[in-house]
Amino acid sequence: MIHSFFEELSTELQNGVNEKGHPFRFITMATVGNETIARLRTVVLREITEDLRITIYTDSRTQKMKHIAQNNQVSFLLYHPEKMLQLKVEGTAEIVTNTERLKTTWQTIQPNSRKDYITQTTPGSLIKNPDNVEYIDEKNYFSIIDVTPLKIEYLKLKRPNHIRALFKNVDNSWNGEFLVP
């Protein structure tokens, strides 16, 4: 029985990449680094592999990159309002250094989306006017982050009973247990 809930969460994660407008396309990511408070931001789910490795893109100068360099344990929060399904994912982040993968992926990014990775100044820097952001042509700060999930908590809000389960990735095999909602 618990396997069907894992299949559902796997399918919904895949749909987050493949279906336009799916609620799992934009997800909340938390990092900590050496700070004492988690930092949250919305990121775009770019890829999900069969073994549920999550891929996102970012500018290499962002705070999340600094945090991951200090502490590579991250978490994601996803919510599907129509299905009343929440997933909490905990995993280990890896900054991709394979230059061929970076170059190949960069070529697939639409030209109007590339501007997110070619600003003159670091994302989060103070500016006087948002219409005057400067872009560079000779370089980009495009980065890929892969996250290997270690735990996924599934929560389905429904009547008469909510369903909550915890799935753990142990030696590349997912095991699940029900939890009290």
pLDDT at 15: 98
Asked if 41 and 75 count as a contact pair (C-beta separation under 8 A), the reply is: no
- Write down the domain spans for the chain: 2-124+132-179
Looking at the predicted structure, is the pLDDT value of residue 179 above 90?
yes
pLDDT at 54: 98
Looking at the predicted structure, is the pLDDT value of residue 137 above 90?
no
Instruction: Note the residue count of the chain.
Output: 181
In angstroms, what CA-CA distances link 103 with 48, 68, 112, 127, 139? Answer: 19, 22, 17, 30, 12
Asked if 92 and 76 count as a contact pair (C-beta separation under 8 A), the reply is: no
Neighbour tally for 16: CB within 10 Å = 22
The tens digit of pLDDT for each residue in 15-68 reads 999 999 999 999 999 999 888 899 999 999 999 999 999 999 999 999 999 999
Q: What is the pTM of this model?
A: 0.94
Mean pLDDT over each residue of the chain, to the nearest integer = 96
Show Cβ contacts of residue 137 under 8 Å, excluding neighbours closer than 6 positions. 118
pLDDT at 146: 98
Phi-psi region of 54 (alpha: psi -120 to 50; beta: other; left: phi over 0): beta
Topology of the domain covering 2-124+132-179: Pnp Oxidase; Chain A (2.30.110)
125-155 residues labelled b (16+ CB within 10 A) or e (exposed): eeeeeeeeeeeeeeebbbbbbbbbbeebbbb
Please report, rounded to a whole number, the percentage of residues in the chain having pLDDT higher than 70.
100
Looking at the predicted structure, is the pLDDT value of residue 150 above 90?
yes
Return the SS3 of 114: helix
In the chain, helix, strand, coil percent, each to 5? 25, 40, 35
